[in-house]
Structure 1
Amino acid sequence: MTAYLNDYEPPPPAPLPPKDIHLHTPPEEYDFNFCFEVKEIRSDRVELRPFVPSLHAQLLADGISKCDPGMTKWLPRAFDGVEDVLQWAEVTIRSQPSACAWAIFTSPASSETRVNREDYVLAGMISMINSDVGMMVSELGWILILEPFQRSHVLSHAAGLIIHRILDMPSDGGLGLRRAQWFATSLNEKSKAAALRLGFSLDGILRAHRVLPKGREGVRPGRKGDYLEDQMTRDSWLASISWDQWEGGVRDHVDKLMARKK
Structure 2
Amino acid sequence: MSVIEYEKKGQISFLYLNRPEKRNAINSEMSDLFIEYLYEFKEDKNARVLIIIGKGDKAFCSGRDLKESKENPELFKRKPLRGRLFNAIIETYKPVISAINGAAVGAGCEITLASDIRLARSGCRIGMPEAKRGMGATFGATILPKLISPSIAAKMLFTGKLISSEEALKVGLVDEVLESNTELFERATEIANEICESAPLSVQRIKETIWKTMDVPLYQSLQLDIGPNVYESEDRLEGAKAFLEKRKPVWRGK
Verify same fold: TM over 0.5.
no
Q: TM-score, normalised by structure 1?
A: 0.29
Q: Considering fraction of residues, name the structure with more helix.
A: 2
What TM-score comes out, normalization by structure 2 length?
0.29
